[in-house]
Structure 1
């Protein structure tokens, strides 16, 4: 009922709606309408109440619920079910808990995470109301060996969505988005499968949207940044989330249905920050130095070690660093 009332207010945002008209429309008492209005105000909605005129929606809060994001969504199913939390340990953990009973494309999103993490168990800073901390539940009917490519779909989609806002970024293969040499987004993809059948894939995405410099402490301050820091302006999180989900589905459906990886690969090659650079590849305690010469058709990193040996590197098996820092 509360969502129905809110949607009605949004549809008539230029006018006052009387309590009587709203109660008649939904077949509930005016007292019930008043209670729902108070709940909405507690959630951050600015609603003007005028005697004998009714209610008018003045301003919506900066939250990432479905009703706030849907105006930016053009997807068939990605993001059409959003499970929203004010705080959570980890959206990936929650997505795994609901994976079997929830439909593909379900998004778990939270205003903050207390146990957010990235690749190789690294912690992820997730302050309240300043970023996009989310996980997408996917159930693609593809060979489990191809799941690594979904991370690159996510990276391409984030970079394109940021570009849609007029902000240029680069991709640090396979799962980081970088602006001016600093990390603005990370992606963590996890899978449950049996032999040749995928049960589910969870793609966790953390985008530093409106974080301030003070939000980055310790080692993270050396590599982390946000869209707000880089542009000097606050970014509309709802719009960015919608743009990302649109871009992701646009790339994901052809990949699953037609095995089309070409458009994803094109973006990842064009926006790569590593191609042409000398890098360190770290496998456990082993480090090797080589030059990245490209991405092959499977999205693997092509590294020339300068001794006539070119290696195709699989995502997930190594960490890649610039010779003198993060990139």
Structure 2
């Protein structure tokens, strides 16, 4: 019942919801509504009540626990089980340890990571209660070669979520989510599979929300929503993100990438621009011209040769 009440308040987008509407839609008395609202307030939700207007959700609590997270989600697959912790070395490493015994869609969230991981073994800064540090345990029936596309799905879902919250956001192919040219999120996919099938995939995300500073080695390339002037709660962002991610993920599992590709192109900050492609020991200049149906980047090089680039092969810097 708490979930249903919160959904009505969230869907109202900051407007009042009358007690009569809540009573009619949920089939409960005004007295029962009042008790439920007080319970939600005890959980940390700020709810304004005005006679003859009803109830309005003003703010969300800013801490992560199972009850809070589960109160705001009602999904088919994602969040089928929620595991929360105060601190962990890495949510991805923890998720890998339990993945075989957990159900598809389980999520692991920690308030802090002491050894957060990025791509190519890089360290991902994860300040306590400053962001969302989450790993998904996924068990899709797909070919292992298609697993890397999940990073693009996560980037697309986050970009769409932030846009709905009026945040100006871009995606640097394949999976960097940027605000004002700086990275707001790290995404890392790890997999256990044989030649033909996936046993499990761990999709990890670190989203910078409340942080006001970063270590000197990344302060010029990383940012947070707070630094960029956006006051968005962690729980609010998580609740909005999970349904969008699930919708795109389930479409992908069913073989439909159309909406994902549309988002990747719409929010791309490199398509149509001159870019530098950094290989192991060399740099080539080209123009990003398209993202293919398989999620690869189509690049036209200075010699007019057109190539498809796969995720993980390169790093990219683009000209202003």
TM over 0.5: yes
**Could you say if the C-alpha distance between residues 323 and 238 of structure 1 is closer, same or farther in structure 2, counting changes exceeding 3 Å?**
same
Residue 160 of structure 1 deviates from its aligned partner by 1.1
Quick one: structure 1 residues 11 and 256, their matched pair in 2 at CA, closer, same or farther if it must change by over 3 Å?
farther
Q: 1:130 offset after TM fit, Å?
A: 1.0
Unaligned 5+ runs, structure 2: 1-31, 46-58
Give the Cα–Cα distance (whole angstroms) in 2 for the partners of residues 274 and 255 of structure 1: 24
Match for residue 147 of structure 1?
A: 147
**What TM-score do the two structures reach when normalised by structure 2?**
0.81
Q: 4+ residue runs of structure 1 moved beyond 6 angstroms?
A: none
The alpha carbon displacement at 1:10 in A equals: 10
- Of 9, 12, 22, the match for 2:35: 12
Give yes or no for contact 1:184–1:224 (8 Å, CA) kept in 2.
yes
Residue 245 of structure 1 aligns to a residue whose secondary structure is helix
Equivalence for 2:220? 222
The answer as to 2:187 corresponding to 1:191 is no
Segments of structure 1 that go 5 or more residues without pairing to the other structure are 1-8, 17-40, 47-58
**CA apart distance, 1:323:** 4.3
1:36 matched to which residue of 2? none
Please tell me whether the aligned partners of residues 66 and 80 of structure 1 are also in contact (alpha carbons under 8 angstroms).
no
Q: Which residue of 1 is the match for residue 242 of structure 2?
A: 245
| Aligned-residue offset at 1:45 | 6.6
SS of aligned partner of 2:88: coil
CA RMSD of superposed structures (Å) = 2.2
Q: Which residue of 1 aligns with 2:98?
A: 98
Alignment of 1:1-327 (within 5 A): 12-14=35-37, 61-212=61-212, 215-230=213-228, 232-257=229-254, 259-323=255-319
Q: Distance in 1 between matches of 2:129 and 2:70?
A: 18
Give the number of the structure whose alpha-carbon radius of gyration is greater.
1
Going from structure 1 to structure 2, the CA distance change for 1:111 and 1:305 (only over 3 Å counts) comes to same
SS of match in other structure, 1:268: helix
1:175 touches 1:188 (CA, 8 Å); kept in 2? no
**Do the aligned partners of 1:155 and 1:177 also contact (CA within 8 Å) in 2?**
yes
Task: Give the match's secondary structure for 2:63.
Answer: coil
